[in-house]
Amino acid sequence: MSIGDFIRVAAACPITNVADIEFNLLNIKDCIDQSVSKNSKLIVFPELCITSYTCADLFEQKLLLDNSLAALEELCKYSKEKDILIAVGAPLTYNYCLYNCAFIIFEGQILGIVPKSFIPNYTEFYEKRWFTEGIGIIDKKVDLFFQKDIPFGTNLIFTAGNFRFGFEICEDLWVVIPPSSYLSLTGANIIGNLSASNEIVSKSEYRKELVRSQSGRCISSYIYASSGVFESSTDLVFSGDLLIGENGTLLNYNNRFQRENQIITSIVDVNKLNNERLRNVSFRDSSKLIPFKVLDIKFDFKNTDYVVFDRYVDKHPFVPSNEAQREIRCREIFNIQTSALAKRITHTGLKKAVIGISGGLDSTLALLVIVKTFKLLNISNENIVTVTMPGFGTTDRTYNNAVNLCKNLGTDFREINIVPACLQHFNDIDHPVEKHDVTYENVQARERTQILMDIANKEGGLLIGTGDLSELALGWATYNGDHMSMYGVNCSIPKTLVRYLVKYVAQKEMEGEVSSILMDILDTPVSPELLPKDANGNIAQKTEDIVGPYELHDFFLYNFIRYGSTPERILFLAKHAFENYYDEETLKKWLNIFIKRFFTQQFKRSALPDGPKVGTVSLSPRGDWRMPSDASYKLWQNRF
């Protein structure tokens, strides 16, 4: 696993006294030391923190400006051997104008100086009294008394291997087109914002939303550091808001209004960001709008070892961990499914739907989607033809749940035992009935599909498929059997989420006996029931005993498809996500099985019926996943 994929970054808010540069520098150094001790490779400080932000007309005092430069020299000396990129705010005089700047320091040198592009001069802000906007400043050089020819401009990017840093200052984030948008399009994947944003009611939440949305639009990490409570409170109060975002989410944020030096850190996943940019055509096309040529300033970290990998890795990436968010997600997906099916029903002009009901989760969810769809279209449930087709492995529990669910929902319920037809077919193809191989299983699946297709023809109905995303990823379906339908409502819903969708409907959409039946279905082991029952009449064929835990396969699928992760990276993440759940050898075993099955079963996905996309991962051959059926998996397997 390459450590080049991840880097720890920090946002800091030091204690400051207005115009007390010596005091401010002491606390800036303390924050740097804290960040270095946590193995952070970037620290972003607030705007003008060397002098403090609220100096007002003192910014016109030569003594303040000279001592600010002296503090920067001292900070450069202090940064030697620290192996951390420092973004610190201070004023700069250039061509008789004063600029509000981010000084980017590494290993004793100022690598570059970035001026604030947009100077606010409205409501409580009147920065143009002192500062000049940096818009249009590119490819300039600055000479300071302790260092010459320092790059100065808004077009600077600082590059160390895979990590490319860009910087903007406070108001720059709030404008129509922030400078970070252009910096991201020219390659920056980690953006720092040195800010001094005062507090008024609700502003904190808006700042969070700005950081989330800008990191999402730029497909970047965004580190935001704002001035703290020790700024002047003559008219304004500052809170020291620290935020670290990544591609539309907040990785970390602090408790505001603290009265000591404060830092927060997070591990940023640059591989994830770069892969997302690679697949996003609109992001690439937007690069045509860049108004300048970037100046790429290269430097090298000694290492990017984050020591402790404390980044949260969700073991169930398809399922929100927060219960309230999970309910919202389930409601949204259920609405997408029903809206999609309603469109297909109205388009075809059909008034009936046909579905096979096994008493398992997938067919139950599909039936619930049909029931709600028919309610939306004012079609009676009597037009839902539900067919249970017991076979060699059907247990009393699943059979009774199927029967009771259909009858309680008022559907046109039918029962067709497939055993006689399968026995006849075994005889026709000269297959011993006692030989419980793949032929034995697939004969049953195809017989069921044949029955359902023919009933759909006979009744003038639409056959609704029940297979889910996880089964399609693994090829856990019989080709031209349960693999086929006229419309598949579950085709982009992973198995780990199917369970929560059924639970949501049981608790929020249904009541009484139907709700009780649904809860029992939730407790039933996942099985195709294609092999005979055990001696006690219970399910003998449990899917997860054969192909592995669905929670692992859904985790593998998400990271493989969503972020193009290598097997080594997936294993690395899985070890952290499933720590104390699965050992490394178990993870390797099922990951190799996932890879082999995913590649060898593409031919099934290439012939899928239509079905709605509900999330970011879909395997539709007409949309998200176009893969040759004869692609080799050799490159991806047994790499660890």
402-413 pLDDT per residue, tens? 999 999 999 999
Q: Are residues 290 and 327 located together in one domain of the fold?
A: no
Q: Are residues 336 and 425 in the same domain?
A: yes
Average pLDDT of span 570-581? 95
Adjacent-strand bridge partners of 12: 263
Q: Once rounded to an integer, what is the mean pLDDT over residues 432-447?
A: 93
- Looking at the fold, whether 217 and 283 belong to one and the same domain comes out as yes
CA 411, CA 303: separation in Å to the nearest integer?
65
Looking at every residue in the chain, the average pLDDT score rounds to: 94
CA-to-CA distance for 387 and 359, rounded, in angstroms? 11
154 and 254 part of one domain: yes
Q: Amino acid letter at 262?
A: Q
Q: Are residues 461 and 561 in the same domain?
A: yes
Residues 221 and 336 in one domain: no
Query: For residue 208, how many other CB atoms are within 10 A of its CB?
Result: 16
Query: Could you give the percent of the chain with pLDDT greater than 70?
Result: 97
Q: Which residues are annotated as a binding site?
A: 122, 197, 203, 356-363, 442, 466, 471, 476-479, 604
**In terms of residue numbers, what domain contains 266?**
8-298
Residue among 37, 33, 40, 39 nearest 11 (CA) = 40
Under DSSP, is residue 193 helix (H, G, I), strand (E, B) or coil?
strand
Cα separation of 534 and 540, whole Å?
Answer: 5
Helices H / strands E in the chain, number of each: 19, 20
**How many residues would you count in the chain?**
640
- One-letter amino acid at 537 equals G
For residue 284, what pLDDT is reported?
87
Kindly report, residue by residue over 42-54, the tens digit of the pLDDT.
999 999 999 999 9
pLDDT value at 495 more than 60: yes
- For residue 122 the two structure tokens come to 């409205």
Is residue 318 assigned to a domain? no
Q: What is the pLDDT of residue 547?
A: 85
- Tell me, yes or no, whether 277 and 333 share the same domain: no
What is residue 49's predicted lDDT score, i.e. its pLDDT? 98
Catalytic residues: 47, 116, 170
Q: Is residue 455 domain-shared with residue 596, that is, in the same domain?
A: yes
For the segment 110-121, the average pLDDT, to the nearest whole number, is: 97
pLDDT of residue 287: 86
Q: Is the pLDDT of residue 539 over 60?
A: no
Q: Would 401 be classed as within a structural domain?
A: yes
Under 8 Å between Cβ of 193 and 172: yes
Q: With 80 as the cut, is the pLDDT of residue 602 above it?
A: yes
Q: What is the mean pLDDT of residues 101-123?
A: 97
Residue 586 pLDDT greater than 50, yes or no: yes
Mean pLDDT within 297-307: 94
Q: Where are the alpha helices (DSSP H) in 123-202?
A: 179-185
Strand partners, 488: 465
477: which DSSP letter? S
pLDDT tens column, 365-409: 999 999 999 999 999 999 999 999 999 988 889 899 999 999 999
* Count of beta carbons in the 10 Å neighbourhood of residue 347: 8
pLDDT at 2 over 50: no
Say whether both 570 and 454 belong to one domain. yes
At residue 535 the predicted structure's pLDDT band, cuts being 50, 70 and 90, is low
621 within some domain = no
Please indicate, yes or no, whether residues 369 and 477 belong to a single structural domain of this protein.
yes
Q: Is residue 137 part of a domain?
A: yes
Burial profile 476-506: b = 16 or more Cβ within 10 angstroms, e = fewer: bbbeebbbbbbbbbbbbbbbbbbbbbbbbbb
Kindly state whether residue 32 falls inside one of the protein's structural domains: yes
Residue 502 inside a domain? The answer is: yes
Reported as half-sphere exposure (CB side, CA atoms, 13 A), residue 531 has a value of 14
- Residue 481 is predicted with a pLDDT of 94
Q: How many domains does the chain have?
A: 2
Cite the annotated binding site for deamido-NAD(+) by residue number. Answer: 442, 471, 476-479, 604
Same domain (yes/no): 100, 235: yes
If we measure between CA atoms, which residue out of 186, 126, 129 comes closest to residue 153? 186
Residues 535 and 596 both lie in one domain: yes
pLDDT of 255 strictly over 90: yes
Which has the closest alpha carbon to 579: 268, 309, 326, 307?
Answer: 309
**What pLDDT is recorded for position 536?**
67
* Cα–Cα dist 75/67, whole Å: 12
Domain-embedded: residue 629: no
What residue ranges in 275-434 does DSSP mark as E strands? 295-298, 352-356, 384-388, 412-415
Does the pLDDT value for residue 633 go beyond 70? Answer: yes
CATH code, domain carrying 515: 3.40.50.620
Cβ burial of 448 (10 Å; 0-12, 13-18, 19+) is buried
CA 230 to each of CA 18, 24, 305, 308: distance values in angstroms, whole numbers, following the listed order: 8, 11, 34, 33
Binding residue positions for ATP = 356-363, 466
Is residue 305 one of the residues assigned to a domain? no
Residue partners of 627: CB distance under 8 A and separation at least 6: 602, 605, 606
Please, which residues have CB within 8 angstroms of residue 308's CB and are 6 or more apart in sequence? none
Query: CA-CA distance, 266 to 471, in Å (whole number)?
Result: 35
The residue assigned the tokens 């899928």 is 608
pLDDT of residue 59: 97
Burial class (CB in 10 A: 0-12, 13-18, 19+), 447: buried
Residue 143 belongs to domain with CATH number: 3.60.110.10
Instruction: List phi, psi (to 5°) of 120.
Output: -70, 140
